[in-house]
Amino acid sequence: MYLSKEEERMLVGELGYAAQKAMEILVALGKIYDAEKLVPITSAHISGVSYANVGEDGLEFLEELASDGRVLVQTTLNPAGMDLDKWSLMGIDREFAENQLRVIDVYRRMGVKITCTCTPYLVGNEPRMGDHIAWSESSAVVYANSVIGAKTNRESGISALAAAITGRTPFYGLHLKENRQPTVEVRVPQPNGEFEFACLGMIVGRLVGDGIPLFRGILHAEPDELKALGAALASVGGVPMFHVDGITPEAGEYVDRSMERLTVTESDIKSVKEEYASEVDPDLIFLGCPHLSLMELKRIASFLAGKNVRKKLWLCCSKSVKLEADKLGITQVIEAAGGTVVCDTCPIVAPVKDLGVTAVATNSAKGAWYSRNLNNLCVRLLSTEECLREATK
Ligand code: F3S
């Protein structure tokens, strides 16, 4: 792989310990994927932040990098295992909390913005179309490639951090135009709202695996709906990017191409719900996987105004979205009803089983899938309104 003079200097350690380790990681990755060179990036986003994932060995490695490592580009952080301020109210034990705060501190020292959200594009980490970036967190990757038109592979937390420290990433995969073409055309009926977009993502993710679908038949889609679609595609399948004819920025380049075709019907979309219809009453209802936008929080507050929440209801978002919601009086309406706006974390990365949760309800296909397959919980997949009705009945 070709390396510039500066990249060579990083690799031999002339620019410090962290730059050397990071360059070793990127060169190894580049060799595996046959990258001809590294490409400069404008942004990075790092996942794998929960202490439950990082552990002591991971923390030791991060501490070593932080001895002289600093990120060279705007870099944000995925959710942690708890609300960084209100962890005791969540019922998180002190030992876990202290370890989680050590992880956060080490990222802070490296210059990473402590956003703790899976929606970096809602909190100021907004690459432009065509930018090369290095993001981990599959739902953010698919959003960046598909909706923004920036270029990123599905990085791991560590390769995204290495890219942030060096300001570069190996030039392969979705950084190359030829790998951004659709592999399968999917004819669909117009989904109705975020929930149906999420169900559609679950079906198509299963069908196309790590392919790139081009959707036809979607006449309108809000950014929040594309967020829900992408999160499901990327988790149930391994989809790194999708196109929607007439809507996403690169779709127009491929509309005349012939390719394998699939059709999804309205009844296919409705059938997803039946797969996640646990009879066990949920002890936690959560919305915000991926994290809620201000618009979504506002709609939830309108529903909850004047009602009483009778079950544990978590509405997950970034701290910066919550601050805006505070200013607009949205948080106050939600809290007056008895809901909780949870920041910095989500029920997938927080140790919810330790909090006594055994059954959940959510409107998120990704959240449902991980709750069942990773956290072994009983799951109901419901529309947003059904979740809120369940919480208030
Ligand atoms: Fe975000 Fe957690 Fe879902 S990180 S995408 S809310 S699993």
pLDDT tens-digit readout, 76-100: 999 999 999 999 988 899 999 999 9
Question: Which of 49, 342, 348 to mutate to test ligand 1, by most ligand atoms within 8 A of the CB atom?
Answer: 348
- Tell me the pLDDT band of 231, cut-offs 50, 70 and 90: very high
Q: Which residue's alpha carbon is at the smallest distance from atom 5 of ligand 1?
A: 290
Taking the centre of ligand 1 as the mean of its atom positions, its distance from the CA of residue 333, in whole angstroms, is: 24
Taking the centre of ligand 1 as the mean of its atom positions, its distance from the CA of residue 117, in whole angstroms, is: 8
Taking the centre of ligand 1 as the mean of its atom positions, its distance from the CA of residue 361, in whole angstroms, is: 15
Do 74 and 43 touch, CB atoms closer than 8 A? yes
Taking the centre of ligand 1 as the mean of its atom positions, its distance from the CA of residue 141, in whole angstroms, is: 13
Nearest atom (ligand 1) to Cα of 79? 4
Separation between Cα atoms, residue 259 and residue 214, nearest integer Å: 10
Nearest atom (ligand 1) to Cα of 288? 6
Nearest atom (ligand 1) to Cα of 231? 5
Closest-CA residue to 343 (of 116, 101, 124) = 116
Do 193 and 65 touch, CB atoms closer than 8 A? no
Taking the centre of ligand 1 as the mean of its atom positions, its distance from the CA of residue 299, in whole angstroms, is: 20
Taking the centre of ligand 1 as the mean of its atom positions, its distance from the CA of residue 68, in whole angstroms, is: 31
Question: Which of 291, 318, 371, 375 to mutate to test ligand 1, by most ligand atoms within 8 A of the CB atom?
Answer: 291
Taking the centre of ligand 1 as the mean of its atom positions, its distance from the CA of residue 78, in whole angstroms, is: 9
Taking the centre of ligand 1 as the mean of its atom positions, its distance from the CA of residue 254, in whole angstroms, is: 31
Question: Which of 226, 366, 370, 371 to mutate to test ligand 1, by most ligand atoms within 8 A of the CB atom?
Answer: 366
* 3-class DSSP state of 304: helix
Q: Say what the pTM is.
A: 0.97
For residue 363 the two structure tokens come to 């409107």
Q: What is the DSSP pairing of strand 168-170 with strand 38-40?
A: antiparallel
Q: What is the DSSP pairing of strand 168-170 with strand 184-187?
A: unpaired
Q: Which residue's alpha carbon is at the smallest distance from atom 2 of ligand 1?
A: 346
pLDDT, residue 254, reads: 87
Q: Which residue's alpha carbon is at the smallest distance from atom 1 of ligand 1?
A: 290
Q: Under CATH, which number does the domain 277-392 receive?
A: 3.30.499.10
Per-residue pLDDT tens for 98-147?
999 999 999 999 999 999 999 999 999 999 999 999 999 999 999 999 99
pLDDT, residue 256, reads: 79
* 3-class DSSP state of 313: strand
Per-residue pLDDT tens for 327-380?
999 999 999 999 999 999 999 999 888 889 999 999 999 999 999 999 999 999
Q: Which residues pair with 151 in a beta bridge?
A: 132
Question: Which of 49, 77, 118 to mutate to test ligand 1, by most ligand atoms within 8 A of the CB atom?
Answer: 118
Closest-CA residue to 265 (of 187, 183, 184, 207) = 187
Do 281 and 359 touch, CB atoms closer than 8 A? yes
pLDDT, residue 355, reads: 87
Separation between Cα atoms, residue 148 and residue 155, nearest integer Å: 17
The ranges assigned to domains in the chain are 5-177, 181-273, 277-392
For residue 116 the two structure tokens come to 């703790």
Q: Which residues lie with the beta carbon below 6 Å from any ligand 1 atom?
A: 78-79, 118, 139, 231, 289-291, 316, 346, 348-349, 366-367, 370
- Which listed CATH number (2.40.230, 3.90.1150, 3.30.499, 3.40.50) goes with 5-177? 3.30.499
* 3-class DSSP state of 251: helix
pLDDT, residue 344, reads: 97
In this structure, the chain runs to a length of 393
State the helix-helix crossing angle for 294-304 and 330-337, rounded to 10 degrees: 40
Per-residue pLDDT tens for 248-300?
999 999 877 889 999 999 999 999 989 999 889 999 999 999 999 999 999 99
Task: Give the mean pLDDT of the chain.
Answer: 96
Do 199 and 368 touch, CB atoms closer than 8 A? no
Question: Which of 135, 139, 236, 284 to mutate to test ligand 1, by most ligand atoms within 8 A of the CB atom?
Answer: 139
Q: CB neighbours (10 Å) of residue 210?
A: 12
Taking the centre of ligand 1 as the mean of its atom positions, its distance from the CA of residue 252, in whole angstroms, is: 30
